[in-house]
Amino acid sequence: MPVVVDESIRMRKMAKLANSFNSVMDIGCAQQPNSYLNNKTVIGLDLVKTKMPNNYRYFYQMPLSEYNQKHETVECIVAGELLEHLEDPLTFLKDCYQAITADGVLILSTPNPLSPIELILNITLNKKYFYTKDHIMLFPQRWLIRLLELAGFNNIKLYSGGFPLPGVGLVPCPRFMCHQTIAVATKTPQKENE
């Protein structure tokens, strides 16, 4: 039986980081829409169709690359627990960069492979907990920063997404110990002379 963790602390934190933006796109939201997003315009984007909560104004069932060809940019993208599922995360991040307005922000969360839980599970090669066939790769925090830089983002800050306690859910903890890393990255346009 898989471990189910209450994600509300991580989702509230991501919504709080996005609350200053008018337009927010939540990518990969079908499985777990973020009901804490209270922006003027919340757009859901996923490959799978689902019923969205009332705080979502629009929902598009398409890849981000297709969205970029048909729709205007947004001020902020939220992508919770998605990056580790992608075969080509760098292309996805470049598509995010394209979908965000100048000085817009990408807020994402992804498992931290160096959390104490993950380290113990790696030592024992445990495949029962926090191990899913849907995860393709995990990103240590400093390499997550590098990946975001390669996609063009800067001013990258990392936060703790919490630490899971059985029967309790996610609880606050220091960033280096967190089970899920939250990254906030800015799209600051390059100056023409650079």
pLDDT digit string (tens) for 134-189? 889 999 999 999 999 999 999 999 999 988 887 777 888 999 999 899 999 999 87
Taking CB atoms within 8 Å and a gap of at least 24, the contacts of 59-65 are 64/27, 64/92, 64/95, 64/96, 64/99, 65/95
Handedness of CA 52, 57, 60, 64 (dihedral sign): negative
Q: Which of 73-82, 116-125, 143-152 has the lowest mean pLDDT?
A: 116-125
- Tell me how far apart the alpha carbons of residues 22 and 7 are, in angstroms, rounded to a whole number: 24
Residue 53, SS3? Answer: coil
**Mean predicted confidence (pLDDT) in 130-136:** 82
pTM of this prediction exceeds 0.95:
no
Confidence of residue 66 (pLDDT cuts 50, 70, 90): very high
